[in-house]
Amino acid sequence: MAPLADSFGACPVPKSRYDHITLGHGSGGRLSADLLRSIFLPAFDSSVLASLEDQATLPFDVRGGRLAFTTDAFVVRPLFFPGGDIGRLAVCGTVNDLAVGGVRPLFLSAAFILEEGLPLADLERIVRSMRQSCAEAGVELVAGDTKVVDRGKGDKVFIATSGIGIVPEGRNLSIHAAQPGDRILVSGTLGDHGVAIMSVREGLEFETVLESDCAPLADLTRVMLEACPAIRCMRDPTRGGLSSALNELAVGSNVGVELDENATPIRDEVRAACEMLGLDPYYVANEGKLIAVVPAADADGLLTAMRGHPLGRSAAAIGTVVSDHPGMVIANSPIGGRRVVMMIAGEQLPRIC
């Protein structure tokens, strides 16, 4: 339902006398309405959300364009980490899945699965962070739902977000579109999100705090597409990292990818942490980075445009699309070594997003 009405109802209720989530907060009765009115409605300040209908009704002028639609579930552990939290992740992850398609994100929905006993203060903090991230991304959260599961049957908070936006007329970015000779750019340093999460979990301490790169990329992609409409494809290398994104590209376009390890931007602290934790940074998740595939002639212009944006300052050209070894990604080391970058098989970092 849109404005959380199914779960919350519309009757006036006194301010909550609860500090923690109870099963009653998922009842569809007065406690649900209380949660809606005390936490969700004030946070998002959306007249559509507040209308309490079963569905959000939205002005939407496609005018020759198409609609884009995406969804993701978020189960990251811990809920709060340096550089972000599950709420920011849930907004940015879905916004970015739209943005890398060249889509202008417009509206989000959020479905919460709360574990009985969750402190309401944690929920409030998450919801505030979502509002802030929505504002940064220029999207409106217009639909929501909340369910509560009994203690021990969930893990504090899971969030599923969905997003819709407009695909401008004539725009057709696709992982099937890469061609031999194309250049592969990345918008910044790799591995920051995954290493930030793992460092918190493992209790690692470094001289500087390792922060997640979690950020909404819609403004960066807008600038990139204005500067370079010839972009073939963009991807956000989240779970599975750069490796999964490039392997999907190689298979999707039936091309080979040659990666220049020396050109790949990775923070020294992230490289050090990866060595300590036994991780390959190419497999580590990012939440505020993208790769772009672009005809060689446009690469320099695009790189300049990316570096002019706050979220693209460390952008770099890291590889080339080739006709050799289709479906395969090969990394070239500074000392002349070559290795196949396989798609990761199982789980390197569970619950990273």
Tell me which residues in 50-69 interact with its own copies (CB under 8 A). 51-62, 66-69
Distances (CA, A) of 250 to 154, 254, 298, 325: 37, 5, 20, 9
Cα torsion through 103, 134, 60, 71, rounded to 10: 60
**How far apart are CB 49 and its own copies at their closest, in Å?**
11
CA distance linking residue 144 with residue 54, whole number of Å: 10
**How far apart are CB 26 and its own copies at their closest, in Å?**
7
**How far apart are CB 335 and its own copies at their closest, in Å?**
28
Asked if residue 278 binds its own copies (CB under 8 A), the reply is: no
Asked if residue 351 binds its own copies (CB under 8 A), the reply is: yes
Considering only 221, 238, 264, 286, the residue that binds its own copies (CB under 8 A) is: 238
**How far apart are CB 59 and its own copies at their closest, in Å?**
6
Asked if residue 74 binds its own copies (CB under 8 A), the reply is: yes
**How far apart are CB 209 and its own copies at their closest, in Å?**
26
> Which of residues 83 and 237 has its CB atom nearest to its own copies in the complex?
237
Asked if residue 272 binds its own copies (CB under 8 A), the reply is: no
Query: Among residue numbers 117 through 176, which ones bind its own copies (CB under 8 A)?
Result: 142-150, 152-155, 158, 160, 162-165, 167, 174-175
CA distance linking residue 302 with residue 227, whole number of Å: 6
Per-residue binder mask for its own copies (CB under 8 A), 85-124, x = binder: ------------xx-xx-x---x-xxxxx-----------
Residue partners of 141: CB distance under 8 A and separation at least 6:
44, 46, 49, 91, 107, 108, 109, 110, 130, 131, 134
Query: Among residue numbers 187 through 226, which ones bind its own copies (CB under 8 A)?
Result: none
Beta bridge partners of 257: 321, 329
> Which of residues 10 and 121 has its CB atom nearest to its own copies in the complex?
10
Is the Cα torsion angle 305, 306, 308, 309 positive or negative in sign?
positive
> Which of residues 11 and 209 has its CB atom nearest to its own copies in the complex?
11
Query: Among residue numbers 299 through 338, which ones bind its own copies (CB under 8 A)?
Result: 327
List Cβ<8 Å contacts ≥24 apart for 247-251: 247/327, 247/329, 247/341, 247/342, 247/343, 248/175, 248/343, 249/175, 249/178, 249/291, 249/293, 250/326, 250/327, 250/328, 250/329, 251/327
